[in-house]
Amino acid sequence: MTNILIKSLKRKQKKLDLVAKMSKLSSDEIAESFLSAKRNRKQVHLRQKIVCAYIKIRLGYGAKINESMFDLACEALKLDGYPKPPNIESRAWALLHHEVIKGRGSKKVGANVTTPDKKVFYKPKTVSPSALNVCPASKDFLFSYEWRKTRMVALKKYGAKCQCCGATPQSGAVMNVDHIKPRLTRPELALDVGNLQILCHECNHGKGNWDATDWRDN
Alpha-carbon span 160 to 158, nearest angstrom: 7
Kindly state whether residue 197 falls inside one of the protein's structural domains: yes
Greatest mean pLDDT among 26-35, 72-81, 190-199 lies in 190-199
Kindly state whether residue 217 falls inside one of the protein's structural domains: no
Q: Where a domain ends, among 54, 87, 110? A: 110
Q: Are residues 85 and 142 in the same domain?
A: no
Helix axes 98-110, 48-59, angle to 10 degrees: 90
Q: What predicted TM-score, i.e. pTM, was given to this entire model?
A: 0.40
Q: Are residues 104 and 139 in the same domain?
A: no
Q: Are residues 105 and 32 in the same domain?
A: yes
Q: Where a domain ends, among 49, 84, 110? A: 110
Neighbours of 113 (CB within 10 A): 17
Q: Where are the alpha helices (DSSP H) in 44-122?
A: 48-59, 69-79, 90-96, 98-110, 118-122
Q: Are residues 69 and 169 in the same domain?
A: no
Neighbours of 166 (CB within 10 A): 12
Kindly state whether residue 84 falls inside one of the protein's structural domains: yes
Q: Are residues 12 and 98 in the same domain?
A: yes
State the pLDDT at residue 96: 80
Domain that holds residue 58: 2-110
State the pLDDT at residue 175: 92
Kindly state whether residue 116 falls inside one of the protein's structural domains: no
- Given a cut of 70, is residue 126 above it in pLDDT? no
Greatest mean pLDDT among 53-67, 79-93, 165-179 lies in 165-179
Q: Are residues 80 and 131 in the same domain?
A: no
Domain total of the chain: 2
Q: Are residues 130 and 106 in the same domain?
A: no
